[in-house]
Amino acid sequence: MFVLARKYGRLGNRLRRAAHLVAAAIDHGHTLVDLSFSEYAADFEATRRDLFCRYPPARRALPAPRWIRALLDRLATLALRIARLVSPPGALLRAVVWRDVEVEYRLDAPAFRDLARRSRILLFEGWTFRTSAVERHAAAIRAHFTPARALAERAEAIASGLRSKTEILVGVHLRRGDYDTWLGGRYHYPPSAYADLMRRVLTLFPGRRVLFLVCSNEPVPKDSFDGLPYALGTDHPVVDLYTLARCDYLLGPPSSFTLWASFAGDVPLWFVDRPEAEPSLEVFVRRTP
């Protein structure tokens, strides 16, 4: 059994990390228990009735009130600390702690394959757990993270309504919030920079109707995009994420949020690494988390 026992980041980061652990669980014949996903569990069909947020999904539902999820989260953190301190050679319960955000911990390496074979329960703490198996198991991962029906229907209705007004729908992720300090604010672009990017993207589709869907993690001044064909997203991250996944193209600064939207909908994404960059159709690339 693989157990994700420590939270990291928000929705996009949780989904990206879980995707690699799901792929590894399939490859190594383990069940994944993702206790770190508790606060988003209600938003996805496979996890909303499962106290343990398991992959493969549980056959029987277990009651999942918030207070029990919170208690399990604390118990998992305690178990992780104990396993880090007292796991002797040959122990069936082990902790895999990898806090280096610059170097990947490979779940497809021979050393991990051997560890997974010898261990009954592996508790994971860290962020950069990666495996190339994500591409091979993409269909299973996408299916597992299908939004709850009400949210999926809401995203589909929004996307369909926007598509009825245009030929090309371009999703724009206006990433703000904690980006004002991350990497010294390198990717904390002002709304005016996004507006300029959108004007340059319009030139890629001469003679065609283009509509931008602008989603952000903080309120956007309504006059930010005057003169541009656009619509604003909602205040629900899962609805926005899966509406973006129904666009024709996506753009925004490097973020696991748009990375997941690209993967979920198989949509070409442009990671804008500087706001003055010039677009071309070649910079839009389908991505795997």
Q: Print pLDDT tens along the chain (289 aa).
A: 999 988 888 999 999 999 999 999 999 999 999 998 988 999 999 999 899 999 999 887 777 777 788 888 788 778 777 777 766 555 678 889 898 989 999 999 999 999 999 888 999 999 999 999 999 999 999 999 999 999 999 999 999 999 999 999 999 999 877 777 777 767 889 999 999 999 999 999 999 999 999 999 888 887 899 999 999 999 899 999 999 999 999 999 999 999 999 999 999 999 999 999 999 999 999 999 9
Beta bridge partner(s), residue 95:
123
Residues 101 and 199 in one domain: no
What CATH number did the domain enclosing 241 receive?
3.40.50.11350
- Evaluate whether residue 289 is within a structural domain: no
What domain range is 130 assigned to?
2-144
Q: Choose one of 110, 144, 178: the last residue of a domain.
A: 144
- The separation between the first and the last C-alpha atoms of the chain, rounded to the nearest angstrom, is 23
Residues 7 and 92 in one domain: yes
Residues 195 and 231 in one domain: yes
Residues 18 and 119 in one domain: yes
Q: Choose one of 91, 115, 144: the last residue of a domain.
A: 144
Residues 61 and 169 in one domain: no
Query: Rounded to an integer, what distance in angstroms lies between the CA atom of residue 19 and that of residue 130?
Result: 9
Residues 114 and 188 in one domain: no
Dihedral sign computed on CA atoms, order 53, 54, 56, 61: negative
Contacts of 209 (CB under 8 A, 6+ apart): 165, 166, 167, 168, 229
Contacts of 89 (CB under 8 A, 6+ apart): none
Query: Rounded to an integer, what distance in angstroms lies between the CA atom of residue 100 and that of residue 125?
Result: 11
**pTM, rounded to two decimals:** 0.92
Q: Using the structure block, give the residue that is written with the tokens 């305690």.
A: 78
Residues 70 and 191 in one domain: no
CB 116 within 8 A of CB 108: no
Beta bridge partner(s), residue 56:
none
* β 105-106/129-130 pair status: parallel
Residue 61, pLDDT score: 74
Quote the number of domains for the chain: 2
Contacts of 83 (CB under 8 A, 6+ apart): 91, 93, 94, 95, 123
Question: Cβ of 97: how many Cβ atoms within 10 Å?
Answer: 15
Q: Choose one of 144, 170, 199: the last residue of a domain.
A: 144
Residues 140 and 153 in one domain: no
- Evaluate whether residue 264 is within a structural domain: yes
Residues 264 and 155 in one domain: yes
Residue 67, pLDDT score: 79
Residues 178 and 266 in one domain: yes
Q: Using the structure block, give the residue that is written with the tokens 């209600």.
A: 42
Residues 126 and 229 in one domain: no
Question: Cβ of 195: how many Cβ atoms within 10 Å?
Answer: 20
